Structure 1
Amino acid sequence: MKLPKFLFFLLMCTVVALASTGAFAQKEDKGGYKLGPEDVVEISVWGDEELAREVVVRPDGGVSFPLVGDLKAGGLTVAQLREEVRKRIVEYVPDAAVSVILRKVENPKIYIMGKVQSPRMAVMGQKMTVVQALSLAGGLSNFADSGNIIVVRQFPDGKQKVFEFDYDKFADGDNLEQNIQLQPGDTIVVP
């Protein structure tokens, strides 16, 4: 039995909503979420108000903090960043109790554009497929060419790859493998 497209889309939206109630930080095999550009962390040294502030991870992965200067945060876990700050600050503040708290996750991102209800940049808090991303954008507009959706993936060497996605076939239960898992930086284009 095939579901009508509207009911299928509603079911997919429900699945995405339920899945999003889980952990929002993307987990890595080695100890947790890796910090990335635009993430916001609060770094503080217990007992010293001058050594407490929120910092944003720069596009180059760095952060700046008093007495420490610039240090790499991108690619580190919160625990690794805390240890790095502690190592650098101990010569100025012996036995420093350093705290690092992840305040806002802004990485990794995907982009959903074209004829969807709400085009947007979205933070991938967890693994995500094309259909899940389309649901985050409110679904397709009435004028969307649902059979010719593409996903554009940019590789570090500058090359791009295009993946085709036919929503109509997917909604009919055909060609389900086209609902690929998205990668950071992917752009979904709905003509």
Structure 2
Amino acid sequence: MNKFIKVLLVVQFLFLSCIASAAKNDTVLGPGDILKISVFEQPDLALEVRVSESGTITYPLIGEVSVGGETPAVAERKIASMLEAGGFLRNPHVSIIVSQLQSLQVSVLGQVLRPGRYPLEGQRTLADVLALASGVSPEGGDLITLIRTVDGKTTREVIDLAEMMRSGDITHNMNIVGGDIVYVDRAQKFYIYGEVQRPSQYRLEHNMTVIQALAVGGGLTLRGTERGVKIKRLDKDGVTHVLKVKHDDLVQPNDVIYVQESLF
């Protein structure tokens, strides 16, 4: 092969490798990822391999290589170094392309329209991954639970999505990382019965008042009286209290509103 053409091919190979590395310079390899590995001018060393649960791959000539937690660029240098140290190749140029990034996935569960596992392609926020799951379902509430494990330590954070949207404060619109679990809670409910048109359970809206709750229940029947509205409410110890309430009092989660019959 003409020496000039060979040098040109080497430069082209390195250039393409640099582009691939730049595109995934912050990608971290992990279990389940599928890698396409090639070595310049060594077609017999081309391999597609899945990263094991222990974060390793098996590569021709050099055997087991630990790549878990490494970027593709670091893994390339590691394989090249092992090939050269073993006396198999001199100054090998290794390229790794991640064909399937299984390790960088987020689980979106609970009250979303399409619960499941989704790949994280680039930087994604909490709002982004909820959009991937087609958004919150009609039964979904305002509270989002984010569960994350880092270095064996699991943390849990509850985010009020509706409040974040109302206030415009996006500090809680956190960046999501591989392995995160996003759980959308079911909407909080209240219950209403007695002399109302539609006794049932209903979604508790933000800062809902007693009079608004009565309106959701269709209003009073002809026998009902607004002066006879009471709420049965559980305290933190599980004890039920019966409270006489006013129209502008706020309804709390799991409140049971009872409308009495008028005596006249």
- Give the TM-score normalised by structure 1: 0.71
Residue aligning to 2:254 = none
Report which structure shows greater RCO (CA 8 Å, sep ≥6): 1
Instruction: Map residues 41-56 of structure 1 onto 2, 5 A cutoff.
Output: 41-56=35-50
Shift of 1:182: 2.4
Matched, 1:133 2:129: yes
Computing the radius of gyration over CA atoms, which structure comes out larger, 1 or 2?
Answer: 2
Q: Which residue of 1 aligns with 2:107?
A: 111
Equivalent-residue separation in structure 2 for 1:26 and 1:121 (angstroms): 21
The Cα of 1:93 is off from its aligned counterpart by 3.9
Q: Does 1:73 align with 2:98?
A: no
1:172 counterpart SS class: helix
Q: Structure 2, unaligned stretches of length 5 or more?
A: 1-22, 186-264
* 1:151 aligns with one of 146, 152, 166: 146
**1:166 maps onto 2:164 in alignment:** no
Farther-moved stretch of structure 1 (168-177 vs 179-188): 168-177
Q: 1:112 to 1:82 in 2, by over 3 A?
A: same
Percent identity between matched residues is 25
Distance 1:82 1:27 in 2: 12
Secondary structure of residue in 1 paired with 2:163: helix
| Bigger fraction of residues in strand | 2
**Which one-letter code corresponds to 1:56 in the other structure?**
R
What CA distance in whole angstroms lies between the structure 2 residues aligned with 1:155 and 1:80?
21
**Cα RMSD after superposing both structures:** 2.6
Residues 164 and 178, structure 1, Cα contact 8 Å, conserved in 2: no
Cα–Cα, structure 1 residues 130 and 34, in superposed 2: closer, same or farther, change >3 Å?
closer
The equivalent of 1:7 in structure 2 is none
Question: Against the structure 1 CA distance between its residues 152 and 96, is the aligned structure 2 distance closer, same or farther, given a 3 Å change threshold?
Answer: closer
The gaps in structure 1 that reach 5 residues or longer are 1-24
Query: Residues 19-98 of structure 1: matches in 2 within 5 Å?
Result: 27-28=25-26, 33-90=27-84, 91-94=87-90, 96-98=92-94
Task: Report the 3-state secondary structure (helix = DSSP H, G, I; strand = E; otherwise coil) of the residue aligned with 1:162.
Answer: strand
**Which stretch shifts more, 133-142 or 41-50?**
41-50
Moved more, 38-47 or 106-115: 38-47
The CA deviation at 1:99 is 3.4
Which whole-Å CA distance do the structure 1 matches of 2:72 and 2:180 have between them? 26
CA shift for structure 1 position 27: 4.1
- TM-aligned CA distance change 1:80 to 1:153, over 3 Å: closer
Q: Could you give the per-residue CA deviations for residues 55-93 of structure 1, whole angstroms, max 9, x where no partner exists?
A: 112222211111110011123333332232223224134
